[in-house]
Structure 1
């Protein structure tokens, strides 16, 4: 992986790695979220969690866009970020200083090892947004992985994971099956055209041991600036019948994105 580059457009700074835009941070307005999947992650946080500070564990850091947003919208939130690329974190801290009074702590460790070291029932929210070479790593899609996340989540806690798949959603369906087996309640949030299988794209997995407030989630999706929808676990199972959870033995990273090379803002 090459060194991070920082492309500036006024107060908006995009972190680019190997020609791909990884994060976009507005230094003047941390509430501004440029990438569509980050908007969906934030939509889920607002729809599914109580007001006030949250104990958050982030798997994947890059430009720390969502941790900054959580700090801005939920001041006082203690946040742990698991980001193994120390050089990237150092560059981000230098080029995109974190706000005063933040409680964001970055640990230089991969997601699987980092979550394994976190205490039981210690997070209200776990956000997984980790990619390697444009793909979700195989060790972050297994049923065993979701079982460890379930251990870390406090009662009523929520898992949000940024996934990616091609039309047919066969990979995401298997990821969803593993999350459902470990946590019980699952849903997907994404653009209508991705949920309908019209193109490759990002989808946000929502999972919890408590029932998901689907009415609140659907209402938030209907009010989103982007054409956003919600698909329940049962709907995914009907769309892709027979999907089995990934095991550590057969786990695969998410499909290769169809577009490589110069990044385009989403």
Structure 2
């Protein structure tokens, strides 16, 4: 009997001339990163049409996980039956083409065939996700030539794939979305995948991809949904508490995730604790005749402080509220006396979708108050969203938006630029230092209020109303507002890096 080899080849395993270890690592790393980029950007593409809801996020995550599982299983199975070198190029090329076409396909479907949007959205995530996730088992098959190195090869490629997915996640969240339109991100990624397919076909016909990392990243994302403890109610979006005011028997403060969100006096809805709410009331009262009933729509409900105020001071007012969190609505009814308020209709829905259901010219007033701290539904900030606001307002209608920003106020400036692009007249209310009227003081940030209308805004009346309510706030418009906005870029559905524009600080909520 002759001597045996010290590194026996796996029985029945073909001797593939696959990619070297460095090329294999690059393929796995790149494919893994691409899967995460597609998943994150898909959420931003779908939000204007399906709403930025937990259901939308869950759907995208579920489809992505399905794609990963399907791609991993089929990739390994097919690699055992077909020469893996024949799979790499076509898989990368097809996935690249689908990714590059995704923005156009989704937006066209949403506008022309909305009933098919869920199906098309699912396919645009499932197809490239499965093809890219098949890369890991295919490359593993190419690299495995001996049973003695099985653990090393599998472990190394799994680790490289995990690092690639982490890289794709961080790159997208911190760099790409803040600098590029989402369509540009997907078209660029698709182009890179197609170029990669051509190179692979030219060199060795290898595959790349990794599912293991995506499971870790998505699990981390799901974990962030869990609300902190010490809640009166744990809603779908928040840890909610209601705290009694020790200085006012009927006063209640609604805290969401520990931040003061709303103050409600259940016996006297005309009592307004937070300065920004008094500023909104001042602006609305200056813009419309005293006591005149209004048809109002509110983007965001919280404790419904301002709808209650309108009902009390303008009998006959009809307020329709879009509040995405059904748990907060239950608190309004059970703890904050909503059932006793006439003329307030609350719908549990995404604000952007709620706007789309309203008739043109059907509202005198739209109030945007859906932002809190650094948690901003970006799809309510864009030119397209503001165009819908303008559509539902009548010719003398007014849009009032509460913003929260800090640091350089980059988000607030961008939102002011956005309104300037949509409405004829825009004004900004806030602390003098924050709105550029006190050059001796640095901006502190916090709440700011933007007004927008196609009719002229009476700045003098607003100033007098702000003073009468002892807000300490001032108002700027015209050239002063232009100077304050500077070179801020308007936000659009295709470019709205709100999370990156916001400058976080200690959460303080309404003030």
- Shorter-chain TM-score above 0.5: yes
Structure showing the higher helix proportion among its residues:
2
CA displacement at 1:167 relative to structure 2: 4.1
Q: Does 1:238 align with 2:483?
A: yes
**Match in the other structure for 1:71:** 311
More moved, 69-78 vs 242-251: 242-251
Query: Per-residue CA shift, 1:28-82, capped at 9, x if unaligned?
Result: 2111111111111111111111231000000000111101000010011011000
Q: Does 1:48 align with 2:287?
A: yes
Q: How does 1:147-186 map to 2 (within 5 A)?
A: 147-186=387-426
d(CA) in 2 for partners of 1:134, 1:174: 15
CA separation of 1:101 and 1:234: change in aligned 2, threshold 3 A: same
Q: Does 1:97 align with 2:337?
A: yes
d(CA) in 1 for partners of 2:409, 2:238: 31
Extract unaligned runs of 5+ from structure 1: none
Structure showing the higher strand proportion among its residues:
1
SS, match of residue 211 in structure 1: coil
SS, match of residue 25 in structure 1: strand
CA RMSD of aligned residues (A): 1.8
Conserved? CA contact 1:190–1:229, under 8 Å: yes
Query: Per-residue CA shift, 1:205-231, capped at 9, x if unaligned?
Result: 000011111121122223331211001
Q: Does 1:258 align with 2:505?
A: yes
CA separation of 1:183 and 1:26: change in aligned 2, threshold 3 A: same
Q: Does 1:229 align with 2:468?
A: no
Extract unaligned runs of 5+ from structure 2: 1-236, 437-441
CA displacement at 1:265 relative to structure 2: 7.1
Q: How does 1:78-157 map to 2 (within 5 A)?
A: 78-98=318-338, 100=340, 102-131=342-371, 134-157=374-397
CA separation of 1:183 and 1:135: change in aligned 2, threshold 3 A: same
CA displacement at 1:256 relative to structure 2: 4.4
SS, match of residue 34 in structure 1: coil
- Number of equivalent positions: 264
Query: Relative CO higher for 1 or 2, CA cutoff 8 Å, sep ≥ 6?
Result: 1
**Match in the other structure for 2:231:** none
d(CA) in 2 for partners of 1:82, 1:177: 25
Conserved? CA contact 1:124–1:157, under 8 Å: yes
d(CA) in 1 for partners of 2:382, 2:478: 17
CA separation of 1:2 and 1:140: change in aligned 2, threshold 3 A: closer
d(CA) in 2 for partners of 1:193, 1:15: 28
Q: Does 1:27 align with 2:274?
A: no
CA displacement at 1:170 relative to structure 2: 2.6
SS, match of residue 338 in structure 2: coil
CA radius of gyration, larger in: 2
CA displacement at 1:134 relative to structure 2: 4.0
